[in-house]
């Protein structure tokens, strides 16, 4: 028995071919939808991670600003406890820097990454400037207590005069980050 092309065309072959084509098209359609869904999910996850990172940045930056204000007030304090209190505030500055260093950089968008780095640089600068000032404070023991003997007036003057400028610059960087977060 000979098979002709007509028999082949009339057989189940055409049905199978049509079924394979339809199945392939459905698979392509489902795959494209899945890819779009995965991309949307990844984008949403990144935006959520950005927002979480910004919350941490804002919290620790505001903590730093409060501590920085306290440090500035302590500059005019004339008691021997000044050195100890500044050192306690410097520990808070160190903690803020540590927490910001632990924010995953992958969650900071490129558009505001430099602002984030600048915040950390300002904190580091303040820490080292006030540490240098604290190291210059000399105390004298007298009658079971200490008396403030000397401090570096030049460093103190620089710290007092630069306070508002650094505070405002830091706040500007922080506000840029906040505006970017709101735009997400």
Query: Helix 81-101 to helix 110-136 angle, to the nearest 10 degrees?
Result: 160
Asked if 76 and 64 touch (Cβ cutoff 8 Å), the reply is no
Residue ranges per structural domain of the chain: 45-183
Per-residue model confidence as pLDDT tens digits over 69-128: 999 999 988 887 888 999 999 999 999 999 999 999 888 989 999 999 999 999 999 999
Angle at CA 131, nearest 5°, toward 130 and 132?
Answer: 90
The predicted model scores a pTM of 0.76
Per-residue model confidence as pLDDT tens digits over 71-84: 999 998 888 788 89
Q: How far apart (Å, rounded) are the C-alpha atoms in residues 1 and 152?
A: 112
Residue by residue, DSSP assigns 83-136 as HHHHHHHHHHHHHHHHHHHTS-GGGS-HHHHHHHHHHHHHHHHHHHHHHHHHHH
């Amino acid at each position: 028995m000979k098979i002709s092309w007509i028999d082949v065309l009339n057989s189940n072959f055409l049905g199978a071919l049509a079924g394979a084509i339809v199945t392939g098209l459905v698979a392509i359609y489902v795959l494209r939808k899945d890819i779009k869904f995965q991309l949307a999910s990844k984008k949403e996850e990144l935006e959520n991670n950005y927002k979480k990172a910004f919350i941490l940045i804002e919290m620790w930056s505001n903590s730093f600003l409060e501590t920085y204000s306290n440090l500035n007030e302590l500059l005019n304090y004339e008691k021997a406890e000044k050195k100890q209190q500044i050192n306690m505030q410097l520990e808070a500055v160190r903690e803020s820097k540590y927490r910001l260093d632990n924010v995953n950089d992958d969650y900071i968008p490129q558009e505001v990454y430099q602002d984030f780095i600048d915040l950390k640089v300002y904190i580091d600068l303040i820490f080292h400037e006030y540490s240098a000032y604290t190291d210059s404070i000399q105390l004298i023991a007298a009658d079971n207590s200490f008396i403030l003997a000397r401090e570096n007036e030049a460093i103190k003057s620089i710290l007092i005069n630069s306070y508002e400028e650094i505070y405002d610059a830091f706040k500007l960087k922080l506000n840029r980050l906040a505006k970017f977060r709101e735009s997400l």
